[in-house]
Amino acid sequence: FSEESGLVGLLRSVAELEKLQALPGAYVPVIKFVLRGVPVDLLLVRLKLPSIPPTLSAESENIVARCLEEVDVHSLNGARVASALLRLVPNVARFRTTLRAVKLWSQQRDLNSNLMGFPGGVACTPI
C-alpha cells in the first residue's frame, strides 16, 4: 500500500482518524491508526480474484491457494485462528466477555506486547 494513493491516502482524509502509520514492510503488513479513541490494526490480503465471492471466508479450504504471496497468508492467519478458536468454545458470549476483561487488564499493566514476550495479536483476536 502506497503512502499517498490508495487506502492510506483515503484514510488520511478521515477527520476522526489519528496516528496513521503504514507498515508495509512488517512480517504482517499493517496500517495502524486510532479512530475515535479506539486503536485499530488493519491487515490486508490481496487475492487473485477479479471480485470477492460472498461465500469466501477465512476458513475456506482453498483460500490459501488464492493468496498472491506468503505475506498474504500471514495476514490471513489471525482470522483463521480466531475462527478456529470460536468453533471450539462452548459459550462464545462468555468467552468474548472474559477475553475483553483479560485484554483490558493486560493493557492497564502494559502486559500486552508480544514484542516483550507477552500475549498479543492472535491471543485477543476473537473479540
pLDDT tens, residue by residue, 59-69: 666 666 666 67
Q: Is the pLDDT of residue 32 over 60?
A: yes
Of residues 13, 96, 81, the one with CA closest to residue 43: 81
User: Which cell is 106 given?
Assistant: 493486560
**How many CB atoms neighbour CB 53 within 10 A?**
8
Give me the pLDDT at residue 3, please: 56
Q: Is the pLDDT of residue 58 over 70?
A: no
Q: Is the pLDDT of residue 36 over 80?
A: yes
Of residues 114, 16, 17, 96, the one with CA closest to residue 8: 17
